Structure 1
Amino acid sequence: MTDTSETRPADDAAPAPARPNRLRRLMRYLPLIAPVLLWTVPCWVLLYAGQNWPLPVALAGTALFALGLFGMPVAMMRGHGRRQQDRAAIVGDALLGGSWILFTWSVLLGVVLRLALTAAGVGDGQERARIVTWAVLGTAAVLLVWGYTEARRVPRVRRLDVELPRLGAGLDGTRVALITDTHYGPLDRARWSARVCETVNTLDADLVCHTGDIADGTAERRRAQAAPLGTVRATRARVYVTGNHEYYSEAQGWVDLMAELGWEPLRNRHLLLERGGDTLVVAGVDDVTAESSGLSGHGASLAGALDGADPRLPVLLLAHQPKFVDEAAAGGVDLQLSGHTHGGQIWPFHHLVRIDQPALAGLTRHGARTLLYTSRGTGFWGPPFRVFAPSEITLLVLRAPRSRP
């Protein structure tokens, strides 16, 4: 269950891509136009782009797409709206993931494969159109099975060295385990949760971090799935910060439950990790959506998180969303740990993630001092699929300068 590839140093950190400011306004219209596009485009490509299917086949196929077009939003609203019906959420999430994959490959193969077949002189127009249909359906079926398997498996462990120039020699080799975006939800994953925690316990970590989005639903409702987090072991501390999904479902309840399970909620505060005569500041902030949630006392504050900390000490910051790195860099943070992006979860959704976030996954550098590690997440949100965006449990080994073997 672990990645046996060689440990990679932070020197290989990729430069941070520029965050685009355009197209953000389109995001607000996605809930309206996405369902129509996700179902009508595949319907056209698979049924009406020259296939000349027999009338019963065309009618049956159209009926299925129409059922998906109207059924998916209804199931999503019932599952994720006020009613919070888990069965409806499971159906809606599966339809969302399936339609996204079908849409993606209908567009790609509907253009690329058709052009290739035409250039190769394969068959007539009808034959080429039917080849495209079966290729799209076959590809989608394979990706759905593979993506479901990837989403439900215990994540592989990703290991890397991270050199921090201000880290004291006594802290060299400090092991930091990172899990995030577990998203316990409508699909009961209590056994998966226990296996994830067992894997974390094999890493012999000094510090274990959870950077938010524990679940979809209240702490009371998802308690059984979250309970295994109480078994996680760390030699020094277990720390947690809120994600945006906590603010959809009684965030304070999750803060209280994590404290009950023995984790230290770092709500705009810090603790000190001392080893070998050197000290590391481990700080955390509420998610950037906390202030707009209206929940009293919640809101991201780096100044609050670092209040009273010696500015000469290196700082490890937990912040759910990578976008907080701009403030972290301005505040002199050495390393920020984040999640939120899921690495895109289902390719090519990562293009939309990049509109909103400065990093998708991995280690990036921001400014003169600050490194950002963005996890692809330990679980999944909504659609139970991961396509070309594998989940991960991360082990970061902190290195002092010139101390690597």
Structure 2
Amino acid sequence: MSALAALVPIGVFATFLVFVWHRLAVAPRWGRRWVPWLVAVVLAALFAAVLEQFDVWGEQWSPATMRPVAWTGAAFLATCLYLFLGLVPVALVSGAVWVLRWRHDHGAAGRRRLNRVMSPLVAALAVGVTGYGAWEAAHPSVTEYTVTSPELPAAFDGTRVALVTDMHAGAVRSAAFTRGVVDLVEAQRPDLVVVAGDLEDGYAARYGPELAPLRDLRAPLGVFATTGNHEMYRDTANWVRAFEDLGIPVLKNRSVRLERGGAEITLAGVHDREGKGEFAPDPDAALAGVDPAGFTLYAAHQPRQARDVAGRGVDLQLSGHTHGGQLWPLHYLVPLQQPVVDGLHDVGDVPVLTSRGVGGWGPAIRVLAPPELPVVTLRRG
């Protein structure tokens, strides 16, 4: 994103913070001249923290030094969602009082009482929900699935596949978070690990070390990755190289044969649909030479990429991207872009397992969309 294009979201967010400042510091008419100044200073500091998670400033310091600032700014973004959901209705009710009490003071006393009670209450609830979301985000759980197929060779019956997506390590999430994910995966003793995109945020030179624990991932059938949309936004080539330097092959529009007991299945993977040029998705290349009658796993970051392989014999697509909405009530918006929110569902004739992700973009906050590590048991039948 260019500096000029970045000014648009920054301007919109700054305007929203002016609205928040007015609702919290001015509309209640606290009768203390220092209150508006104090609220303005706090909001300005939080605004600066929000910018740091996007590396707008502070790159002269190490990620570890700046992480508390970036974490606070990202968490404040989540708080702003709930401030918006609460303060806008309060402002509308206050405006209705102004209109309906058509007297010389337009119901000034009633509006003042409303704003003095509701504005702090909304702020407290927004902070409380964010706090709960921080706890929820810090406790990923394992979700077990079973997929049965007559095409699965008997030698692969009972194979366990761990699906890791949407870690988003970087300014907010550190190598310690990645280590926790690796430990959770290893505890499940999977036969195969598929890492389906959005491992990071930022530049590889700065945040590559946050992924270092992935080097310890082990599975009898291997550990493989594919790219997500965030790998496509910045530093794509360097991130792909970084994954492979960790010993994780990236399925760049290609397939691999997995062997067990003299039998074979196929794992194919494509780049995310946001990729361009050499990183554009090419499902035809990914499935070239793959027998549609055999058993095929297909790694594609976005669930809607299943539409590109309809009728191609894909037995299970492994995806992420949606985060399950991450912050209630955003899950209601996910169907505007994706065919599924999370879980195991058919997209056309392709069964798609969509993970909510083990991490999350931006704030390390999740509200009613808990992080997960899906583990799929493949069964012949």
Q: TM-score, with normalisation over the residues of structure 2?
A: 0.82
1:370 corresponds to which of 350, 353, 375: 350
1:343-380 C-alpha deviation (Å, 9 max, x unpaired):
2222223344332222221122112x311111111112
Uncovered stretches (5+) of structure 2, i.e. residues with no partner: 1-5, 97-108
Q: Please, which of 277, 288, 310 is the counterpart of residue 273 of structure 2?
A: 288
**Total equivalences in the alignment:** 360
Q: CA deviation at 1:247?
A: 2.3
3-state SS, counterpart of residue 33 of structure 2? helix
- Give runs of aligned pairs for residues 339-354 of structure 1, distance below 5 A: 339-354=320-335
Alpha-carbon shift at residue 142 of structure 1 (Å) = 1.3
Percent sequence identity is 36
Shift of 1:234: 0.7
**Matched residue, 1:382:** 362
Aligned to 1:145: 131
**Aligned 8 A contact 2:172 2:363 in 1:** no
User: Quick one: which amino acid aligns to residue 80 of structure 2?
Assistant: S
Amino acid corresponding to residue 39 of structure 1 in structure 2: L
Which residue does the alignment assign to 1:229? 214
Q: What SS is found at the alignment partner of 1:272?
A: strand
- Tell me the equivalent position of 2:371: 391
Any idea what the Cα deviations from partners look like across 1:218-255, whole Å, max 9, x if unmatched? 33322322111111121111110011222233222222
Distance 1:103 1:198 in 2: 37
Matches within 5 A, 1:130-169: 130-151=116-137, 153-169=138-154
CA contact (8 A) 2:50 2:76 kept: no
Q: Hey, what's the Cα distance between the residues in 2 that align with 1:96 and 1:149? A: 16
Q: Which amino acid aligns with 2:232?
A: Y
Q: Could you tell me which residue of structure 2 aligns to residue 180 of structure 1?
A: 165
Deviation readout 1:296-331 (Å, 9 max, x if unpaired): x32211111111111211221101112212112243
How many Å separate the matches in 2 of 1:254 and 1:365?
31
**SS of 2:115's equivalent?**
helix
Corresponding residue number in structure 1 for 2:13: 35
1: distance between equivalents of 2:30 and 2:11? 28
| CA–CA distance in structure 1, aligned partners of residues 239 and 51 of structure 2 | 28
CA shift, 1:190, in A, is: 1.4
Q: Is 1:59 aligned to 2:36, yes or no? A: yes
Rounded Cα–Cα distance in structure 2 between residues aligned with 1:131 and 1:37: 24
* Letter matched to residue 170 of structure 1: A
Q: TM-score, normalised by structure 1?
A: 0.77
Q: Decide which moves more: 273-282 or 355-364.
A: 273-282
Distance 1:249 1:146 in 2: 31
2:330 corresponds to which letter in structure 1? F
Residue type matched to 1:56 in 2? Answer: R
Q: Shift of residue 71 of structure 1? A: 4.1
Is structure 2 residue 341 aligned with structure 1 residue 355?
no
Instruction: Give the direction of change, closer, same or farther, for the CA distance of 1:286–1:370 in structure 2 (3 Å limit).
Output: same
Q: Secondary structure at the match of 1:258?
A: helix
AA at the equivalent of 1:349: L
Q: Is the alpha carbon distance of 1:75 and 1:265 closer, same or farther for their aligned partners in structure 2, counting shifts above 3 Å?
A: closer
Q: Secondary structure at the match of 2:238?
A: helix
Q: Does 1:326 align with 2:303?
A: no
Maintained 8 Å contact 2:178/2:214: yes
For residues 147 and 30 of structure 1, what CA distance do their matches in structure 2 show?
A: 28
Conserved? CA contact 1:154–1:195, under 8 Å: no
Per the alignment, residue 15 of structure 1 pairs with none
Question: Following the alignment from structure 1 to structure 2, what is the Cα–Cα distance between the partners of residues 275 and 109?
Answer: 62
Alpha-carbon spacing, 1:111–1:146, altered in 2? closer, same or farther (3 Å): farther
Of 281, 285, 288, the match for 1:300 = 281
Asked whether the 8 Å contact 1:40–1:65 carries over to 2, the reply is no
Inter-partner Cα distance in structure 2 for 1:73 and 1:141: 16
The CA deviation string for residues 136-186 of structure 1, in whole angstroms up to 9 with x for no partner, is 1221121122222333x2511111212335334432221100111111111
- Range 224-233 or range 128-137, more displaced: 128-137
1:371 counterpart letter in structure 2: P
1:269–1:283: 8 Å Cα contact kept in structure 2?
yes
Contact kept? 2:21, 2:36, Cα under 8 Å: no
Show the counterpart of 1:192.
177
In the other structure, the counterpart of 2:3 is none
Q: Is the 8 A contact 1:39 1:68 kept in 2?
A: no
Secondary structure in 2 matching 1:364: strand
In 2, Cα distance between equivalents of 1:77 and 1:224: 18
Structure 1, unaligned runs of 5 or more: 1-27, 116-122
